[in-house]
């Protein structure tokens, strides 16, 4: 039985794609908290933001994190803002080894903006919004994570393998 491996980081850092591949390699189950919110609410994230606002989304996100308690051996990808609430940060650290998946800001922005489905970037100045969010959140990712993995220049496969190697070095917190 292994502690879960939890991925935090900014939109576009590859939490879902790298996490999914790492789960395949390590034969572990992958869950994405954004998907769990969508399932629980029965509607998409842009619709939740547009109809009921960010707070409603954040409440659903907190419930999903709380409900994951007691699981093990999972690889868990989280939404970029999952680290905003102190209770969420504690829940994430209790869930397992936490990795902050990071990359060069230009790379992050290019990936995050590409999908066009992220409500927080639907403004007149998406790059300004992105930079402001990143600055406000960096310390929270650092505080929550056991380690940071910079994936700039790494392909998905190399990133997934580094992630699994590094995570194995950080499971001491859960041993004994």
Q: Which of 16, 13, 10, 46 is nearest to 119 (CA)?
A: 46
Q: Which of residues 55-94 bind ligand S3P (CB under 6 A)?
A: 79-81
Pairing of strands 147-150, 74-77: unpaired
Q: Which of residues 31-50 bind ligand S3P (CB under 6 A)?
A: 34, 45
Q: Which of residues 103-142 bind ligand S3P (CB under 6 A)?
A: 118-120
Q: How many residues bind ligand S3P (CB under 6 A)?
A: 10
Q: How far is the CB of 77 from ligand S3P (least distance, A)?
A: 7
Comparing every residue's Cβ against ligand S3P, the nearest one is 79
Q: Please say which residue, 80 or 96, places its beta carbon nearer to ligand S3P.
A: 80
What is the Cα 114 distance to its own chain's centre?
18
Distances (CA, A) of 135 to 37, 61, 86: 25, 22, 18
Residue 97's DSSP bridge partners are 5
Q: Please say which residue, 72 or 117, places its beta carbon nearer to ligand S3P.
A: 117
Q: Please say which residue, 101 or 167, places its beta carbon nearer to ligand S3P.
A: 101
| Alpha carbons 99 and 44: distance in angstroms, whole number | 26
- Taking residues 1 to 30 in sequence order and writing x for each that binds ligand S3P by CB under 6 A, - otherwise, the string is ----------x---x---------------
Tell me the three state secondary structure of residue 30: strand
Tell me the three state secondary structure of residue 11: coil
State the residues that interact with ligand S3P by CB under 6 A: 11, 15, 34, 45, 79-81, 118-120
């Amino acid at each position: 039985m292994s502690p879960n491996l939890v991925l935090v980081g900014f939109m576009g850092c590859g939490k879902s794609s790298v996490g999914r591949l790492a789960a395949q390699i390590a034969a572990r189950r992958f869950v994405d908290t954004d998907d769990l919110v969508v399932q629980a609410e029965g509607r998409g994230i842009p619709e939740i933001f547009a109809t009921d606002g960010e707070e409603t989304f954040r409440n659903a996100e907190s419930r999903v994190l709380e409900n994951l308690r007691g699981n093990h051996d999972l690889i868990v990808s989280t939404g970029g803002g999952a680290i905003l609430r102190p209770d969420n940060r504690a829940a994430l650290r209790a869930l397992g080894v936490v990795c902050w998946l990071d990359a060069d800001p230009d790379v992050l922005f290019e990936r995050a903006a590409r999908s066009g489905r992220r409500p927080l970037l639907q403004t007149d100045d998406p790059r300004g919004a992105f930079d402001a969010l990143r600055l406000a959140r960096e310390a929270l990712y650092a505080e929550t994570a056991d380690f940071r993995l910079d994936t700039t220049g790494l392909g998905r496969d190399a990133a997934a393998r580094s992630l699994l190697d590094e995570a194995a070095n950080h499971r001491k917190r859960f041993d004994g």
